[in-house]
Amino acid sequence: MEKIILDVDTGIDDALAILYAIESKRLDILGITTVNGNVPLDFVTKNTLKILQLADRRDIKVYPGAEEPYLREPEHEYHVHGTDGIGNALDDMEVTMELEDTFAADFIIDTVNKYPGEVTLVMVGPLTNLALAMKKSPWIKHKIKRLVLMGGIVSKAGYGNKLPTSEFNIFADAEAAKVVFHKGLDITMVSLDVTHQTQLNMDHINELEGTKYFDYVKDSTEIYRSYGEKLHGKNECSLHDPLTIGYVLDESYVETVPVYVDVETQSPLSYGQTIADFRGRLGKEPNMKVCTAVDGERFVKDFINTLKK
């Protein structure tokens, strides 16, 4: 099984990604690190612990990370994820698991050093923890197997979910993303270009009826689906973060191309925009693979079937 560290800012789709990773039974989850993002860090860590309790996976340890972005002040997405980050679906659940004492960036450093060349970092929130880890221990870039991240948007036809051309995870800490993008890592960026083509609706959710996740998935995604309906006229939501797990499990879900990508950190109109140089105008070698197409229907089917097991 592939060894992974899962880095989350647990809102609704992060929680679904955690469940997908667990129920796939095909990933060795060495630990989950948390980061400020969709909601403040306290909510993120509490949500993550609740999801692990729901999945009955108390053996997976959670390591709290950055409370704020690399340089700037935090912004959150309550209108998308609800007041607690997971649609208030587990309000009645008491947290009985405990957080680890080790800071997330230190856990990343220690784990990558323990398993050099074996650990895939799956990061579905802002990249703050990794930027901090590489600032403290620059040499770990040679020991990370690969980085698969959910973030960004690169196509002309796409649109951002924060600013017109900016995706939230990158916007939430563009400086950290800029640091990470230029460290020479093996990076795959699973962007809004493809995640917007992975829609979860009530027909899919009803397939989970009778399983331990039915009520949670239905209740937690209600605000998320309503937001999608307000934007697009359909009561459905994108499986942004779960697709990142899907790529780690089966790369054939998406098509990728190597390209040089940088991050805008100066303009207030396009802060956090991921700029992909598809034509090579900047004369720089590709620094990552970006996703250009997805078999969304096959992926969503696998996501549902995995949670039904």
What residues are annotated to the active site? Answer: 240
**Contact indicator for 112, 119 with CB cutoff of 8 Å:** yes
Radius of gyration of the chain (CA): 18
Give the E-state strand segments of 10-91 in sequence order: 27-34, 62-63
- Whether the CB-CB separation of 113 and 73 falls below 8 Å is answered with no
Residues 6+ apart with CB under 8 A from 77: 11, 37, 38, 39, 168
Helical residues (DSSP H) of 90-139, grouped into ranges? 104-114, 128-136
> Nearest to residue 98, comparing CAs of 164, 159, 52, 35?
52
